[in-house]
């Protein structure tokens, strides 16, 4: 972690402001600008936690913030401890502690045992730029709270970041959802992460969401989620690129000299990952020229060959080795649902699209010409003849403002449940 102080800017400052706000130390805006109000909040926090109140977030302050960023702390059981007492001490609930510690017998606590204590607040923030680092921290935090979640990786990005998979459920209907193929559509990552959190929470409490019993969902379906297919690109859009990055020169050049990468959809070497799958890829290369794309850049460059990129190769290999009944690829352009590829009409595909449309309010649409080649869902439909969808969430210019996330979540919560229930075995 970088040291943060007066004058610092960026996603880490947003994260700091967000957590200080949640904890009640900060009352300002989440704007990513470390001003006097942020400094004052840091000093209050530091005083409260016995640190030197210098208003600078260095290693010691980070260490104290870390449990809150993760959403849990650890507690060593002492003489006279009960779960009720511990829950009260940390302002949380007994139910949360029980969920996070599956082997623990609440009536026979043994002194000296370390347990996980989740805080009452939710883990996945909905108000800040969602970098790869925040994703990673949230995955760790959710896994500790909900140990029944399965977490692994399906590969790595060019810069060596993990392509995480989170798995929910244990039923026979295996489906897969992904987000952030496109870098400046990163809002789809916290969308999927928030859904994981809400489903896991409901499952742990034998609860329901929108009338769906989540334990039933769990027994019917196995849901794989790849929340961030293009982590290098996401961080590029959010953080920009440092001159120390080996791709610095190349990226600036590909971005026509600009240091603002908010228009960037591609991966770190300028390949549009959603034009890099083997679905009419050669045809697309013809069209690419007509679109004026001559090489790597912010968007629409399909790469030197299908699956040339480690991110698409990982996605394709992973998809080939799991017999998914349905896939969803999340993007952000205009609140529409794409369900077709060429003349392929997988059974159930349109019926399910209609259900999605009903619960989300998104329209079923015909893709524009440049949208109808070499995408993940195109390839999935072509190779497996099963329902595959691109869900274009949100409206406006990418990257969509994070303020759209709560509404976007509302529109997609039921759709994400239906996608696991509707496909036939």
The nearer residue to Zn ion, 141 or 394, going by C-beta atoms, is 394
Q: Annotated catalytic residue: which of 26, 130, 373, 409?
A: 373
Token pair 């969920």: residue: 99
Residues 6 or more apart whose CB falls under 8 angstroms from that of 294 comprise none
The nearer residue to Zn ion, 194 or 275, going by C-beta atoms, is 275
- Record the tokens describing residue 195, joined without a space: 């859904």
Rounded Cα–Cα distance for residues 32 and 9 (Å): 5
Q: Which residue is nearest to Zn ion (CB)?
A: 331
Q: Which listed range, 62-70, 179-187, 348-356, 373-381, lies at the site for Zn ion (CB under 5 A)?
A: 179-187
Q: Annotated catalytic residue: which of 392, 409, 413, 414?
A: 392
Active-site residue, 362 included: no
The nearer residue to Zn ion, 96 or 182, going by C-beta atoms, is 182
- Record the tokens describing residue 313, joined without a space: 């190769």
Residue 57 DSSP SS3: strand
Q: Which listed range, 217-225, 326-334, 375-383, 406-414, lies at the site for Zn ion (CB under 5 A)?
A: 326-334
CB of 104 to Zn ion, least distance (A): 44
Question: Do residues 237 and 183 make contact, with C-beta atoms less than 8 angstroms apart?
Answer: yes
Phi/psi at 208 (5° precision): -130, 155
Rounded Cα–Cα distance for residues 408 and 196 (Å): 15
Q: Which listed range, 72-80, 175-183, 196-204, 400-408, lies at the site for Zn ion (CB under 5 A)?
A: 175-183
Pick out residues in 341-370 that bind Zn ion (CB under 5 A): none
Active-site residue, 373 included: yes
- Record the tokens describing residue 233, joined without a space: 């690109």
Stated length of the chain = 425
Q: Which listed range, 211-219, 234-242, 323-331, 400-408, lies at the site for Zn ion (CB under 5 A)?
A: 323-331
CB of 222 to Zn ion, least distance (A): 26
Binding-site member from 96, 331, 377, 386 for Zn ion (CB under 5 A): 331
Token pair 């379906």: residue: 221
* Half-sphere exposure at residue 310, Cβ-oriented, CA atoms within 13 angstroms: 16
Count of residues that interact with Zn ion, criterion CB under 5 A: 3
Pick out residues in 184-203 that bind Zn ion (CB under 5 A): 185
Q: How many helices (H) and strands (E) does the chain have?
A: 15, 12
The nearer residue to Zn ion, 174 or 182, going by C-beta atoms, is 182
Per CB under 5 A, does 182 bind Zn ion? yes
Rounded Cα–Cα distance for residues 286 and 280 (Å): 10
The nearer residue to Zn ion, 161 or 182, going by C-beta atoms, is 182
For 147-172, letters b (16+ CB in 10 Å) and e give bebeeeebbebbbebbbbbbbbbebe
CB of 309 to Zn ion, least distance (A): 15
Q: Active-site residue numbers?
A: 373, 392
Q: Which residues bind Zn ion (CB under 5 A)?
A: 182, 185, 331
């Amino acid at each position: 972690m970088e040291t943060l102080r007066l004058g610092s800017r960026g996603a880490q400052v947003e994260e700091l402001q967000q957590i200080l706000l949640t904890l009640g130390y900060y009352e300002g805006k989440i704007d990513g600008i470390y001003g006097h109000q942020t400094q004052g909040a840091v000093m209050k926090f530091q005083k409260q936690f016995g640190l030197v109140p210098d208003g600078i977030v260095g290693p010691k302050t980070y260490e104290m913030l870390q449990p809150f960023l993760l959403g849990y702390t650890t507690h060593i059981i002492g003489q006279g401890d009960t779960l009720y007492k511990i829950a009260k001490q940390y302002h949380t609930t007994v139910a949360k502690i029980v969920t996070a510690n599956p082997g623990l017998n609440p009536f026979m606590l043994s002194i000296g045992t370390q347990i996980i204590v989740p805080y009452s607040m939710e883990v996945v923030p909905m108000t800040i730029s969602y970098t790869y680092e925040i994703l990673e921290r949230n995955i760790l935090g959710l896994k500790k709270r909900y140990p029944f979640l399965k977490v692994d990786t399906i590969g790595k990005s060019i810069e060596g970041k993990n392509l995480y998979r989170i798995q929910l459920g244990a039923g026979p209907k295996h489906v897969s959802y992904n987000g952030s193929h496109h870098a400046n559509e990163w809002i789809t990552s916290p969308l999927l992460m928030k859904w994981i959190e809400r489903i896991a929470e409901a499952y742990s409490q034998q609860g329901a969401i929108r009338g769906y019993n989540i334990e039933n969902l769990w027994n019917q379906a196995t849901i794989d989620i790849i929340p961030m297919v293009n982590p290098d690109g996401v961080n590029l859009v959010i953080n920009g690129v440092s001159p120390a990055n080996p791709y610095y020169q190349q990226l600036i050049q590909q971005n026509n000299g600009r240091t603002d990468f908010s228009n960037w959809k591609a991966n770190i070497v300028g390949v549009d990952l959603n034009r890099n799958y083997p679905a009419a890829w050669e045809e697309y290369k013809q069209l690419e020229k007509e679109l004026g794309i001559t090489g790597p850049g912010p968007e629409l460059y399909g790469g030197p060959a299908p699956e040339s990129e480690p991110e698409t190769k990982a996605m394709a290999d992973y998809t080939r080795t799991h017999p998914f009944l349905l896939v969803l690829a999340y993007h952000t352009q205009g609140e529409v649902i794409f369900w077709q590829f060429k003349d392929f009409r997988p059974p159930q595909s349109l019926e399910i699209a209609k259900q999605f449309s009903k619960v989300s309010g998104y329209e079923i649409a015909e893709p524009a010409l440049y949208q109808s080649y070499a995408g993940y869902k195109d390839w999935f439909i072509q190779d497996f003849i099963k329902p595959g969808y691109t869900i274009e969430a949100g409206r406006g210019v990418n990257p969509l403002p994070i303020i759209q996330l709560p509404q976007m979540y509302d529109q997609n919560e039921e759709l994400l449940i239906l996608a696991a229930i509707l496909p036939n075995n």
